[in-house]
Structure 1
Amino acid sequence: MQWRKTLWWFVFSLIAATAIYLVWGSNLGWIVMGIGFGGLTTWRRYQAARVATWLKSARDQTPPEDVGPWTDVVRQLEHNLHLQNELLAQAQETSDAVMAAAQALPVGVIALDQSLSIIWFNKSARQQLNLNEQADLGSNLLHLIRQPEFLRYARQRAWPDPIIIKTHQGNQDKLMMMQFVVYAREQRLLITRDLTQIDKLETTRRDFVANVSHELRTPLTVLAGFVETISEAPAGALTEEQTQHYFGLMREQAKRMQSIVSDLLTLSNLETSPEAEQVTVNVTEMLNGLRQQVEALSAGRHQFEWDIESGLNLLGAPSELTSAFANLLTNAVRYTPDKGTIYVKWMSESDGARFSVQDTGIGIAAEHIPRLSERFYRVDRSRSRAAGGTGLGLAITKHIAMRHDAELQIQSRLQQGSTFSLVFAQSRLTRAT
């Protein structure tokens, strides 16, 4: 131990000084003793200086060795510094993980001081509120979000409930839910959530329910009316011909409802089923079968021109592709006036293949084209019902196209006809051998 070394140095110096005193006299003995204790003191000061230098230097520097009575202290300090570095590293790792988690949150988080100046925000908040680190850090939040309802909300003393406001960014309107949360020493978090997509889905759901109800109401009303007429008519009041006519109309309305329900089930299956199967579909053979059906539906009222590239096949689900192609063909027959011409093409292109159905029908105004594939959307409801459509054909076609890496394209002009195309990617094509 270090105290023993010091004791032995003291004893050795005392013995040497005593021996010199006895031999040469007291003066020389005192000098030797002074030199011994001075050397010991100087050496201890030097060792202390080495320890002080190490403490002032970087913590990862190797500590000095053999520093006399300071050796045990240095070892303990080194141990404590090592533990402290481990704790700091763990704290930094935890802090980094928390910050990474905060950045990955799907909701926006903005840290604010008591005056609502921005301290930090995560990626979602940056995207939702169009924030910028360089320009907005340190800025007052109320200078960035200036809707009156939000300003009133921010100035409340407590925020038990969130607020929903509309914001405008660029050309897009957003519906945002926001809520303040107090934490630490009167600091605040603003939690934001983008409800735009949820609001659109809810609007779509409401429209869908309203459209289904509207589509089914008409045939149900007709059915109910005829049932009431037949059931309440006195015996013999209706002739056999009238009864059969009523039953025929009722049968038509029942078939209409069956068609709507069938198409709704088809849409549901397309949305919830796994990816389309990968079967080689002989498109030429499929179109030959559809040709007989649509020409029979036309009953000679239209002229057809078919341009089919033989040997050009598709990978996909045969039943789905048949349904998509048939929807475009039957729509052309339904909405093309008598004596009109329908051009059908199936041709390869530089980056895939295109199935197109062009008609000389009434055409569609430009403002309606983006919405044609929505469920139950019709440009002319009365004409669509008269033609026998359910309003779901193009929605089904678009879903089938998406499941087969294809795109539904629509081109049309009023009184000049329309062209509906399914454009397939090169990866979906095969050639007959």
Structure 2
Amino acid sequence: MSSTAAPGDREKVVSKLPGWLWQDLKIRAAQRGIEIQNAVEEGIRDWCNLASATDTIDTSGAASFATFLPIGLWEDFRQVAGDRRVSLIQGLAQSVQLWLHTHPAPDVERPEITRRIIVCNQKGGVGKTAITAGLGEALAESPNALHPVRVAKALTKALRASDIQAEQADHQTDDPLDIENLPGPGLRVLLVDFDPQCHLTNQLGAAPLPMNGDSLTNHMAGDPKGDLRDLIVSIDDETFDGRLHLLPACNDAFLLDVRLSAVRAREAALERALAPLEADYDVIIVDCPPSLGLSMDAAAYYGRRRDGEKPGQSGALIVVQAEDSSADAYELLTTQIDDLRGDLQVNIDYLGIVVNLYDSRRGYIATSSLQGWVDIKDPRVVGLIGDLKEQKEAVRVKKPLLSYAPKSQQAVGMRALAREVL
């Protein structure tokens, strides 16, 4: 049936569509970046222009489906369906299936040069590990499924909503910011636990590497005991379909600075170790220790802009909190990176600042500090992640946040961060 005309000379059409076909249509339209009503319109026109109906589709269990079509198109479609002696539901299903067939899912866009993201801050306890994991998970999510993403166009909108979020945190109501369901990036991601405390390894349910075995430290020090690939573990294949991997940490990284002091071109030690792995991944994310030593020099150098690489593809992502000690640590870190830039004549880009564990209920210190980070401008704030319970619960059960609580405000924020970084 049809209703009165809608804006743009369209009329509302109500029919039925199998749930699986409706879901495929939503995903494919999002992948192609077009409105569902336009996809259905194109499918119906193409179906009507065929010489005959296509293969019969199982429409059992079809549920109500509504869209807006150009005025008169549904009546034309009804006439063609009658001539072909198929029901309107069957004809619509065939039309949608035809559009899906002629508009296949686009290939995942992969970078020409593996992107290298260094998650860092000299201060411990700001949540670098949580951001490393959440960013990697968001980048590896399936391109053939829809995931809720916060799509606020400017951080000022997030700032205005922060007080509302704080009030809602205890009541588990919806995020006040705009939410859109989008396909995942589908990238192949390697998370590197570069911290001897092994937090990333433990949080994702993996085992730290034994002290008497092989490790990233051994490879960086020029004393490998095997292939670094053999140490990599896959994380939650059910959710990430083999796209998310982890290089676990070993406690021997406490000795890394000492061992690097005897290595030639020690700034390039991490790059030499990880270079053989880069062909297997689109993005490598390094969870750095809270240190300003030689290991941080090696991490920053690894994130430098390479020949032929566009600005902002790789570099340092700085995690802070909305309090004063983060600002002091930020100054120390940026001074070290800027010194490395000058000493080695390399370009090390800042990918942005992530304000983590934010809660405006902490009062003036939190809100004024957040405004201070926003005022920096370069690097700009690219993420605002609230201090909510889901991340802590995910750590407790040793599961990735985006599979433990995929619709939580923190998960939605991680996806927004991933798209800012992309």
**Higher percent of residues as helix:** 1
Bin of the TM-score, shorter chain as denominator length: under 0.3
Q: Say which structure, 1 or 2, has more relative contact order (CA 8 Å, 6+ apart).
A: 2
Could you state the TM-score of these two structures normalised by the residue count of structure 2?
Answer: 0.23
